[in-house]
Each structure stands twice: as structure tokens, then as C-alpha cells.
Amino acid sequence: MGALSLSQLIDLVVGGLAIGCVYSLIALGFAMIMRATNIIHFAQGEVMMLGSMCGLTSLWLLPALPLPVVIAVGMASSGLIAVAMELAVYRTLRRRRVPIMNIITATVGMSILCINAARIIWGSEPLRFPELFATTAYDFGGVRMSPQLFWIMVMGVAIMGALQLFLKHTPTGLAMQAVAQDHEAAQLMGANLTRIMAYTFAISGMMAGAAGIMLGSMFFAFFEMGFITGLKGFVAATLGGLGSIAGAMLGGILFGLIETFSTVFLSSAYKDGIGMILLIAILLVLPSGLVGLWQKRR
């Protein structure tokens, strides 16, 4: 409590932004899947956890791997896992035209499956990442910043920027946008729905995989790490307005900042609760999330 010094404030903002980037990346996955299929993908956190585990495993095998490669490994493995889920289970469920609640429950089943598979493969102890970043603080004209948080922010922004470019300027990206708007119309225009869905899951998985490496390097990798973080990503996506890409990014950053600042002003025991209270409050004012702010007037 009490007044914060400027450097403390900056530390908090940077910490909040960095963890916010992680949430944004997970929230993006939720939002993209929500847009394309209308399902809440409860296994999104587990996709992230598996990416984190695979990245860590690659470091065990080749300790000299540079950070970008580790991130790439995490993204690739999470992407593949998410596509496998889509092709093996969700697509079949959609083809059988089962109710949406069944698909959502299947994603819970998927999440249980992943958590327990990870516990069998990697054990139940938290696993520490090797040092991936420089340990001496960067100095930006008197403002000191941890290299780890700095690079997480940079990479988070770069990945999200790349995603935006992909969605806006490539044929596949545009087709994904079209499918998200209207399945039937997109199909009439010649979009291959099955392929687009697979792409959607691949990209959502890659976002989660990047988040997994970042989160793992900040704390540690752990078979249950996807559970609470996945929920926070879902909350962030909802906060932004489910199904909106920009909303998900904003929601994630905002959630990270809220969470970080609430630990300063409130007992850390209720850290997770503050975000939830704010979330409920925001939803009461804007029943469809932050995107409602600029869509409401129409």
C-alpha cells in the first residue's frame, strides 16, 4: 500500500504488460475458435501447457537452442496438437451435428486427457526453464527493465502483429475472416471449410504455444499450468468481447494489468478474485465485452 515510486510503477506496468501479452495470446486462440466454430475451447490452456513442455524438452535435448527456436518449437508443437484435436474429435462432432454443449464438453474431456497425459509423461513436479534471457537489467535512459519482460513484450507484440498481417493480407487469412462472419456465404464463395477450420486451430494453437514458452520461462512448466491460465485467457477473451481479435488482445493486456496492480493494493490471496469482480462489473455495463464500446452506438 501507500504511494508508489516511479520506478515501482514502471515495474508494475511492465510486469502487467508482459503477463498481459501472455493472456492476450491465449485469448486470441479462444476468440478465433469462438468466431469460427462457436465453441468455448476449454482445452486451450492445455494446448499452451503442452507447447511449454515440448519447448522445454527441446531445450533438454539441445541445451544451446536460441530463444526464437525454442519459441518456434513451442508454437509448432502446440499448433500440431490443436490441429490433431480438431481433426480427430471436433470435426467429427460437428459433422454429426451434435449440440454445441456436447462439443464444449468434449473440449473439457480433451483438457482432462491432456493434463493427465502430461502428468504421466513429464511427471507432477514443476519444471524450471533454463535461463533464456540476459540477467542484467536493460537501462532505457534511466528506466530499468528486466530483459525477460522486455523481450516477452516485444515478441508478444510481434506475434500478434504478424497475425494481424496474416489475417488482413493473405488469401487464407481473408478466407478465415469470411468463414468467421458467415459459414454458408463463405462456402458459396469457395472457401474450403474443413481446411479453414484446421488453419484456425493451427493458428490458435501456435498463439498458445508461444504463450506457453513465455509463461514457462517466467515461472516454470507444470502439468496443471494450463488450467488456471487457460481460464484467465478465456476471461480475457470474454472481457474483450468474444469473437473479436482486437478485443481479445486488449482484454488480455487489461487483465494482466488489473491482476498485477491488484496484488499491490490488495492481499495477494484475493489476486484472482479482483479480476473476476472487475470482469463481472464490466460485463454488467457492457454485456458483450469491450467491443461493445465501439459497436454499441450502431
Binding region for another protein (CB under 8 A):
34, 40, 42, 89, 92-93, 96-99, 101-106, 108-117, 119-120, 227, 231, 234-235, 238, 242, 267, 269-270, 272-273, 275-277, 279-280, 283-284, 287-289, 297-298
Q: How far is the CB of 104 from another protein (least distance, A)?
A: 8
Cβ nearer to another protein, comparing 172 with 295: 295
Give the three-state DSSP class for 101: helix
Q: How far is the CB of 87 from another protein (least distance, A)?
A: 14
Cβ nearer to another protein, comparing 186 with 235: 235
Cβ nearer to another protein, comparing 163 with 291: 291
And the C-alpha cell for 71? 519459441
Whether 213 and 83 have beta carbons less than 8 Å apart is answered as no
Give dist(CA 95, CA 99) in Å, integer: 11
Give dist(CA 75, CA 211) in Å, integer: 9
CA nearest to 87, candidates 183, 163, 200: 200
And the C-alpha cell for 154? 516485444
Count of CB atoms within 10 A of residue 139's CB? 9
Q: How far is the CB of 34 from another protein (least distance, A)?
A: 7
Using only the alpha carbons of the chain, give its radius of gyration: 19
Cβ nearer to another protein, comparing 9 with 266: 266
Q: How far is the CB of 184 from another protein (least distance, A)?
A: 16
Cβ nearer to another protein, comparing 149 with 237: 237
Count of CB atoms within 10 A of residue 294's CB? 12
Q: How far is the CB of 150 from another protein (least distance, A)?
A: 31
Q: How far is the CB of 78 from another protein (least distance, A)?
A: 18
Cβ nearer to another protein, comparing 99 with 141: 99
**Cα dihedral 161/74/251/273 (nearest 10):** -160
Give the three-state DSSP class for 140: strand
